[in-house]
Amino acid sequence: MKDFLQKILPRKNQFTGVDIGTNWIKVVEVRISGGMAEIVSLKKYPSPPGVWTEQFDEEHLVEVLSRVRTEGIHEVIACIGGEKVISRVVRFPLMSDKELAAAAEIEIEKYLTSPSDQFIFRHVRLDEGKTGDGDVEEGQNVLLLAVPASTVYRYYGIFSRAGLTVTAFDIQVFALWRLFGRNTTGTLAVIDIGSMTSHLVITRNGRIRFVRVLPVGGSVLTRAIMDTQGVGASEAQQMQEDASLLRDNAGSLSGGRQLVEILRGSLMEIAGEVQRSLNFYSVQEGAPVERLILSGGTSKLKGLPLFMQDVLGIPVGIGTVDLPLPGGEGFDPAYAIALGLAMRGIY
């Protein structure tokens, strides 16, 4: 019956991803045209203060999301933000689906800080005894996920009140893998640097091997500028956007060399978290990460790839996409997660 319905019902050819960040809500529409994917639009709207915390103005968020609805969008793919999602990659023996479901729920309970009946659980097989390069290993890697049920219901309701239907809640690392990692060879790390948190996924020959949410983001740079330069948040953000980590370019910048050193010092907090994660993966897997891709708004900081490359000792670049863009402009890495969410509807 399902196959029959798929043949007679019209197939969707347009999908929308919505990434609600601390500062901005990013919305990306993707369309299938002539059998190829193309980006229809990239838009962003200011996020309500305190979004993803327990206390924020829900009606403000409903109002902002209603603007997405006025663009003619009805259905969206979204993700749960902040540190709400608990995720771990755990190795299990090979077992049936039923056995794995029971074992996965028992394992994820070790990481919960509240009773398990308050969470929604999911598990995803990342491989079945294969590394992705032909080698066979005993067991399988499984991604365990848990999210407070109240968070899912709350945000589903917010989207609904804005006139939008959430067809799926995905997670950021899947969006990043879908966009940058699924067709790669070797060992690749992708990190999306958000405002308060950063999302890291490591793939090996296109398969997810490691995920982590890092408790640090671009806000460490903004706070450092505010504290040392005596400016407000908006001015600090503008100074950060105008800045360059290249010391040779410091003379023409507001704040000059002092600002460059402040940024480089603050970035060591982010680089340190990334380095610890890469080292942990290398020890666990017995193989080093070969290169790193950056995305997120902070990745646009001039000179950041070279800075991270010097600190981490591996090639570092900004994530790009091979898709037609509206207006022929270059891809803005701040939209990476939203685009990866939209691409879920295609793959």
**pLDDT tens by residue, the chain, 347 residues:** 445 444 444 567 899 999 999 999 999 999 988 778 899 999 999 999 988 888 889 999 999 999 999 888 999 999 988 678 899 999 999 999 999 999 999 999 999 988 999 999 999 998 765 544 555 567 889 999 999 999 999 999 999 999 999 999 999 999 999 999 998 999 999 999 999 999 999 999 999 999 999 999 999 999 999 998 888 988 988 888 888 887 665 444 445 678 888 899 999 999 999 999 999 999 988 889 999 999 999 999 999 999 999 999 999 999 999 888 887 678 899 999 999 999 998 87
pLDDT of the residue at 50: 86
pLDDT of the residue at 245: 83
Contact between residue 167 and residue 78 where contact means Cβ atoms under 8 Å apart: no
Secondary element (H or E) of residue 219: helix 219-229
Instruction: Give one DSSP letter per residue of 261-321, joined into a string.
Output: HHHHHHHHHHHHHHHHHHHHHHHHHTS---EEEEESGGGGSBTHHHHHHHHHSS-EEE---
pLDDT of the residue at 2: 45
pLDDT of the residue at 52: 86
pTM of the model: 0.90
pLDDT of the residue at 169: 94
pLDDT of the residue at 233: 87
Strand pairing partners for 170? 79
Q: Is 251 exposed, middle or buried (0-12, 13-18, 19+ CB in 10 A)?
A: exposed
Q: Which residues of 97-131 are buried (b: 16+ CB within 10 A; e: fewer)?
A: eeebeebbbeebeeeeeeeeeebebbbeebbeeeb
pLDDT of the residue at 248: 61
Which amino acid, residue 296? Answer: G
Contact between residue 166 and residue 94 where contact means Cβ atoms under 8 Å apart: no
Which of 11, 30, 12, 23 has the alpha carbon at shortest distance from 341?
Answer: 30
Contact between residue 223 and residue 265 where contact means Cβ atoms under 8 Å apart: no
* Cα distance between residue 261 and residue 303, in whole Å: 13
* Cα distance between residue 208 and residue 178, in whole Å: 10
Which domains does the chain show, CATH number per domain?
A: 2-219+264-343 (3.30.420.40)
Q: Assign 3-class secondary structure to 67-80.
A: HHHCCCCCEEEEEC
